A and B are shown apart, each in its own frame.
Chain A
């Protein structure tokens, strides 16, 4: 390498001090923050009565017992397609919102954005606004700076612990686990999970911030494929703002655009970019620059919206002095309608599946080793391992019935009669024997079709599964 390597291939992070801002979008973001954080922290504490044998937590991922509870819905592992369906809906929903409104997910609801916003709020409460923060960073380590730093970090840490702590409550009974955590009786995995999430919250929200969005998250790089000219996204009307500049006394104002180059939009930006440079990968569409610019425009008596949610396809119309197309004309287009249709179809399918799924279930596994057993009187016996599912919150008696051939005799292993109790919210495995007498049709045939019915004797609910009976012809 030559000495010409005067520039570094690595850059240190430039600290960003977003200035406080007030306005429509800021208020919207506060509201969304309150709702999303509220959902996150409080959901595990909502109780839901499911009977004495089942957990009474409204939302619970019970990994040990392989159950997912969501209010009145209970998902078993074999119903994981509901989760897969919800993930598909989340994906298509993200496409829909991004193609219609740009990166609204990033700007309003992404946890990284929400917690960074919360940490910034704490920072302003402790250190003061942008200018104070810059001054404090440059100052030497006085007693005051130390005190402020320790205060800020402590509050951040409390938020981080609460965040990491709330996560584990989704996986166990929240009040019990909280008690165990506080009294140091919880499982080590609970503490390590809390510790990891505390560390990530503290570091990502307090120190990494926009670095996470720019360098760690793949979404900014995917967004380009989701957006087009009709997407309403945060942008600068350069045709209206340029040439920018401060109006001097001896200059005719008409020579300049509306932008007075006050840098209000730059100062409030949480990712440290200048929206006037156009669309950028770093922009999370938080819309705070819109609030900042609207405020300035109001002060200098110009119409709002120099920086605004706009579709780039309107540029031509606006340059000609026409009104931009109404928002719905941009949003309702083939692409978003296809996304909506796919999203709705997936949702309706899931709802349909949710409402038709039975509360009892039967799975028949014929025993194939051997295919049949010859009994001493020459009768042919087939065995079936039958798994019964009872999704009710109480034990239920299930009664078997076999339809196939008149000659069939049914017997249960270890049980007199044809009825078995299946415990609440569990499965039971029962071996069932079907015997065809010597010389009967099924005993001689290769295969005979038969149907296992099972009936919940309490609710009268019935379900069945088809299977085969192997006779001597199978030899």
Chain B
């Protein structure tokens, strides 16, 4: 196919000399600098793969002469942000939460940081939206087993509930009345509690339960069933039920008693993290 180069008779353009059955290829030369640009990109590419992590090996990849890694960059970035926040974090760690104004930078830092800590540590039981679940308190409403003031929330977060690792943890004691009362007595008491919370009930049975309640329950839950946050006794007269407020569930709770648990976060989280998550929970809508 090779032939001598010549000129195309129609356009006058030089041909490459290639000839296929009389069809020739016109030569419209590319600028030479373009060719050099191509070579330059090849050199650049080779150099880049030497300087930076590139070639896959059996284990990992070549590390590159510059020692760059995205992981190290992220670590450096985290360190940088931590250093940047060190001052406000220290302010938060030493703050008295009850006296911390809302427009204080440490408060703002606590809300944002607390949200992340909550998602990582608390959302498994209390839910990502803090709405709780059966047996796990809703942190958005205005009912608090152990008090909803910011100091009380901080204490609960720090020491946990029924936690043997922390001697200061909250312990609520309720006997399993199944061993102390007869089935009939439990039924009377159940009707009385339904009456306390303004639900449908059998008034005759409830009247029987009144005495039983006064003898067995009122010392913790109060005569009117308003509860006592100092001993973790829930309010039985309101619309909020941790395990459920229907007849069957109340009966089960009286018979077997319920014991929720919560880790003592003071043993796991740093001081500022405990305070941050406290601030976050307190401003979710239920804080007092």
Contact = CB atoms under 8 A, between A and B. Distances in A.
Contacts of A377: 238-239
Given A11-B31, A12-B32, A373-B285, A6 B17 contact: yes
Contacts of A208: 33
A13 B32 contact: yes
Interface string B7-41: 00000001011000000000101111111000000
Contacts of A5: 5, 16-17
Nearest to B16: A7
A378 interface: yes
A7 B240 contact: no
Nearest to B286: A373
A4 B32 contact: no
A378 B143 CA distance: 11
Given A369-B129, A383-B285, A215 B31 contact: yes
Given A376-B239, A378-B239, A370 B129 contact: yes
B14 A7 contact: yes
Contacts of B140: 370, 373, 381, 383
Interface string B86-128: 0000000000000000100000000000000000000000011
Count chain A CB atoms within 10 A of each CB in B127, B142, B283 and give the residue with the most. Answer: B142
A438 interface: yes
B96 to A, nearest CB: 18
A369 B239 contact: no
B32 A374 contact: no
B285 A413 contact: yes
Given A376-B143, A377-B239, A6 B131 contact: no
Contacts of A11: 29-32
A260 interface: no
Interface string A418-444: 000000000000010100001000000
A369 B285 contact: no
Contacts of A8: 29
Given A5-B16, A13-B32, A211-B31, A374 B239 contact: yes
A31 interface: no
Contact of B17 (A7, A383, A433): A7
B5 A4 contact: yes
Given A211-B31, A369-B128, A377-B238, A4 B285 contact: no
B129 A7 contact: no
A2 B5 CA distance: 11
Given A13-B31, A383-B285, A438 B239 contact: yes
B283 A373 contact: no
Given A374-B240, A376-B239, A414-B283, A9 B2 contact: no
A10 interface: yes
B141 interface: yes
Contacts of B16: 5, 7, 9
Contacts of B84: none
A159 interface: no
Nearest to A1: B2
B30 A9 contact: yes
Contacts of A431: 283, 285
B99 to A, nearest CB: 15
Contacts of A6: 4-5, 17
A16 B154 CA distance: 80
A360 B133 CA distance: 40
A181 B127 CA distance: 52
A367 interface: yes
25 contacts: A6-B5, A7-B5, A7-B14, A7-B17, A11-B31, A11-B32, A12-B32, A13-B32, A13-B33, A367-B129, A368-B129, A369-B127, A370-B131, A373-B131, A373-B140, A373-B285, A374-B141, A374-B240, A375-B141, A376-B141, A378-B238, A378-B239, A383-B140, A414-B102, A438-B239
Give the 3 A-B residue pairs with the shortest CB-CB distance, closest first: A369-B129, A2-B2, A376-B238
Interface of B: 2-5, 14, 16-17, 27, 29-35, 102, 127-129, 131, 138, 140-143, 235, 238-240, 283, 285
Interface of A: 1-2, 4-13, 208, 211, 215, 367-370, 373-378, 381, 383, 413-414, 431, 433, 438
Given A13-B31, A13-B33, A369-B127, 19 more contacts: A2-B17, A4-B4, A4-B5, A5-B16, A6-B5, A7-B14, A7-B16, A11-B29, A11-B32, A370-B129, A370-B140, A376-B142, A377-B238, A381-B141, A381-B285, A413-B283, A413-B285, A431-B285, A438-B239
